[in-house]
Amino acid sequence: MTTEDRIPLAALEHGTPFADRHVGPLPAELARMLDVIGVGSLEELGQSAVPDGIRERDLQLALPEPATEAEALQQLRDLARLNSPHTEMIGLGYYPTITPPVIRRNVLESPAWYTAYTPYQPEISQGRLEALLNFQTMVADLTGVPVANSSMLDEATAAAEGMTLVRRAGRAKSPRFVVDADVLPQTLAVLRTRAEPLGIEVVVADLSAGASALPDGEFFGALLAYPGASGVVRDHQAVIDEVHERGGMVVVSADLLALTVLRAPGELGADVVVGTTQRFGVPMGFGGPHAGYMAVRKGIERQLPGRLVGVSVDADGNQAYRLALQTREQHIRREKATSNICTAQVLLAVVAGMYGVYHGPAGLRAIAKRAHRMAAVLAERLRRGGVRIVHAEFFDTLVAEVPGRAAEVVRAARDGGINLRHIDDDHVGVSCDETTTREALVRVAEAFGIAGARWPASTSWTPRPTTRCRPRCCAPPST
C-alpha cells in the first residue's frame, strides 16, 4: 500500500498533502540528506550504522493494516466499551478524585500547560513558575516543613530520594535504613530496588508498638507512614524523638489530604516529608503519572533533589521568578548532583496546586472531613453487623476482619460494582474518598453480608460527591 493509498479522500479533495500534517523531512529533503551522507537509502544507512551482532534478520512483524486517525479513534472507543468501570475503594495511595471543570479545561486540557516538561527558560515561563511556587507553598504549609521542591516523579521514588537524602545529610555511618512495615507496598519495592546498588540495608520493622519497636543497633534514618497502608493513624512523636536521639534522621510519607486535619509531620519533628498529590484533583490514570512532593526542614535544603522555584527581582527591580536550586546531573557536574532518578511532573503539580487554590484551606478540610466521615459511618455500620474493625484510629481507610471470608467479600463487592482491597484470607481493606457516595457504602455493607444494610429513608444525612462540601454535608448520621 502506497502513501497515496492511505491519504483520506477528504484530504485529497481539499488538496491537503498527507505528509504536511506531520513533522519530518519531505522526499526531496530526505534524498538530499542521504546524498550528503553518501548512501542510497535509509535501509543502507541502517545497515551501515547497526552492527551485525545486534541486527535482526528475516524479521517479519505482524503489523495490522494501516488506519486513518478517525479509524484508530473508533477502534479505541470500541475497546473502551469492553471495560466494566467499577467504583474504586482499594486505596493504597490511589483514590478517585474530582477535577474541577475550570482546571480540567484551562490547565489539564490546555496546550499552553500540558506541553511543558519543565521550565528551563524562566524568562519566558513566569506564569508556570508562579504556579509551581504556589505548589511549593501549599506543600510546605500542609507538611509543616519550610522548604518544598517543585514536584517529584511519584510517591515511591520521592521516598527513595528521601532515603538517599538523609544518608547524605546525616552523620550516622551505619548503612541501615529502617522502614515502617505499614508503608505502601510499591514504596517499599522501590526503596529496596534503589537501596541495593547503593549498599543500603533496608530493615522493615513493625512500629505499631512505638519507639520500643525500633531495631537494635545503629541506622542512619527511618521512613514512617502517616497514615499507613492499613489506614491506621499513629502518633509518631516518640519514634521520631528516638530516631533523632540515636543519631538518625526521619522521612515521613504522608497523605496530603489527611494533613489538612492531622498534625503536620514538621510539628512532630520530621526531617523530610514525601508523598503524592494525586488526591488533589489528578485522575488516577491507571496508576500514573502523578506528581510526587518532597519538603525538608531548614539546614538540609541544599540536599534537596529536583528543582526549587524562588522569588527574585529582574534588571528593572520588578519581582520575578527563577529556578533557584537545580541539583540534577543535567544542570551541574555529575559528581555534585544530588539525584539521577528524580524528575518532575510539572503539569500535574500545577493541577494539584490549582486544586488547592480552587478549594482553599476550608474547602480542603471539608473534603478531608467528609472522606473521614464516610469511613466512620461505614465502620459503625460494619461493627453493628458483627464485623471487627482492626484499627480504632483511622482517616479514610478501614481494615475489616472477616475470618476466612475475605475472598467472598471482595467477590461480592465486585459483583456490586465496587473494588475492595483483598489483604489476606481474613482481612479486607476499604478506602473512602472525595467521590464516595452513600449508595457505595450501602453496597459495601451488603458485600460483607450485613442484613438490612440500607439506611432508613428518614436519614437526613446524605453525602454528596460535590467539589464544594457544604457545612451540613458532614453532619452526624441519624442511624
Q: How confident is the model at residue 21 (pLDDT cuts 50, 70, 90)?
A: low
pTM exceeds 0.95 for this model: no
Q: CA 429 to CA 336: how far, in whole Å?
A: 44
State mean pLDDT over 60-70: 89
Q: Are residues 192 and 255 in the same domain?
A: yes
**For residue 20, is pLDDT > 70?**
no
State mean pLDDT over 446-468: 57
Q: Are residues 204 and 226 in the same domain?
A: yes
Q: Are residues 122 and 147 in the same domain?
A: yes
State mean pLDDT over 46-54: 87
Confidence (pLDDT) at 460: 40
Q: How confident is the model at residue 331 (pLDDT cuts 50, 70, 90)?
A: low
| Residue of 77 and 114 predicted with greater confidence | 77
Q: How confident is the model at residue 455 (pLDDT cuts 50, 70, 90)?
A: low
Q: How confident is the model at residue 3 (pLDDT cuts 50, 70, 90)?
A: very low
Confidence (pLDDT) at 345: 87
Percent of the chain with pLDDT over 70: 84
Q: What total of structural domains would you count in the chain?
A: 3
**For residue 334, is pLDDT > 80?**
no
Q: CA 470 to CA 472: how far, in whole Å?
A: 6
CB 343 within 8 A of CB 352: no
Residues 6+ apart with CB under 8 A from 180: 204, 205, 207, 222, 223, 224, 225, 228
CB 259 within 8 A of CB 372: no
User: What residues make up the domain containing 240?
Assistant: 101-354
Domain boundary (328, 354, 380) is at 354
Amino acid at 62: A
Confidence (pLDDT) at 462: 42
In this structure, what CATH number is given to the domain that contains residue 298?
3.40.640.10
Most trustworthy range by pLDDT among 117-121, 123-127, 294-298, 459-463: 294-298
Q: Are residues 279 and 403 in the same domain?
A: no
Give the burial string for 376-415 (b: 16+ CB within 10 Å, else e).
Answer: bbbbebbeebebebebeebbbbbbbebeebbeebbebbee
Q: How confident is the model at residue 344 (pLDDT cuts 50, 70, 90)?
A: confident
Q: How confident is the model at residue 454 (pLDDT cuts 50, 70, 90)?
A: low
State mean pLDDT over 372-391: 97
Percent of the chain with pLDDT over 90: 70
Confidence (pLDDT) at 235: 96
What number of CA atoms fall less than 13 Å from residue 379's CA on the CB side? Answer: 21
- Give domain status of residue 92, yes or no: no
**For residue 330, is pLDDT > 80?**
no
Q: Are residues 323 and 369 in the same domain?
A: no
Question: Residue 96, Cα to own-chain centre: how many angstroms?
Answer: 12
Question: Between β-strands 176-180 and 87-88, what pairing exists: parallel, antiparallel or unpaired?
Answer: unpaired
State mean pLDDT over 397-402: 98
Burial class (CB in 10 A: 0-12, 13-18, 19+), 175: middle
CB 309 within 8 A of CB 285: no
Question: Between β-strands 307-313 and 319-326, what pairing exists: parallel, antiparallel or unpaired?
Answer: antiparallel
Domain boundary (325, 354, 383) is at 354
Q: Are residues 124 and 262 in the same domain?
A: yes
- Give domain status of residue 25, yes or no: yes
Q: CA 343 to CA 324: how far, in whole Å?
A: 16
Q: CA 460 to CA 34: how far, in whole Å?
A: 76
Q: How confident is the model at residue 114 (pLDDT cuts 50, 70, 90)?
A: confident
Q: Are residues 414 and 432 in the same domain?
A: yes
- Give domain status of residue 272, yes or no: yes
**419 phi-psi bin (left φ>0, alpha ψ -120 to 50, beta other):** beta
- Give domain status of residue 11, yes or no: yes
N residues, the chain: 479
Q: Are residues 320 and 469 in the same domain?
A: no
**For residue 371, is pLDDT > 90?**
yes
What is 188-213 written as a DSSP string?
HHHHHHHHHHHT-EEEEE-GGG-GGG
pLDDT, one tens digit per residue, over 39-49 is: 999 989 988 89
**For residue 19, is pLDDT > 70?**
no
Q: Are residues 431 and 404 in the same domain?
A: yes
Q: How confident is the model at residue 475 (pLDDT cuts 50, 70, 90)?
A: very low
- Give domain status of residue 461, yes or no: yes
Question: Between β-strands 176-180 and 221-226, what pairing exists: parallel, antiparallel or unpaired?
Answer: parallel
pLDDT, one tens digit per residue, over 140-179 is: 999 999 999 999 999 999 999 999 999 999 988 999 999 9
Q: CA 266 to CA 259: how far, in whole Å?
A: 11
- Give domain status of residue 381, yes or no: yes
- Give domain status of residue 184, yes or no: yes
Residue where the block lists cell 451540613: 472
Q: Are residues 55 and 138 in the same domain?
A: no
Mean pLDDT across the chain = 87
Question: Between β-strands 418-419 and 397-401, what pairing exists: parallel, antiparallel or unpaired?
Answer: unpaired
Confidence (pLDDT) at 60: 81
Q: How confident is the model at residue 412 (pLDDT cuts 50, 70, 90)?
A: very high
**For residue 295, is pLDDT > 80?**
yes
Q: CA 274 to CA 294: how far, in whole Å?
A: 4
Q: What angle do CA 253, 257, 259 make, to 5 degrees?
A: 65
pLDDT, one tens digit per residue, over 224-274 is: 999 999 999 999 999 999 999 999 999 999 999 999 999 999 999 999 999
Q: Are residues 125 and 257 in the same domain?
A: yes
CB 441 within 8 A of CB 381: yes
- Give domain status of residue 399, yes or no: yes
| Residue of 196 and 452 predicted with greater confidence | 196
pLDDT, one tens digit per residue, over 210-225 is: 999 999 999 999 999 9
Q: Are residues 125 and 175 in the same domain?
A: yes
In this structure, what CATH number is given to the domain that contains residue 449?
3.90.1150.10
Burial class (CB in 10 A: 0-12, 13-18, 19+), 472: exposed
Across the strands, what pairs with 180?
A: 205
Confidence (pLDDT) at 457: 46
Confidence (pLDDT) at 246: 95
Domain boundary (47, 80, 113) is at 80
CB 423 within 8 A of CB 429: yes
Q: How confident is the model at residue 23 (pLDDT cuts 50, 70, 90)?
A: confident
State mean pLDDT over 8-33: 66
CB 248 within 8 A of CB 172: yes
| Residue of 14 and 48 predicted with greater confidence | 48
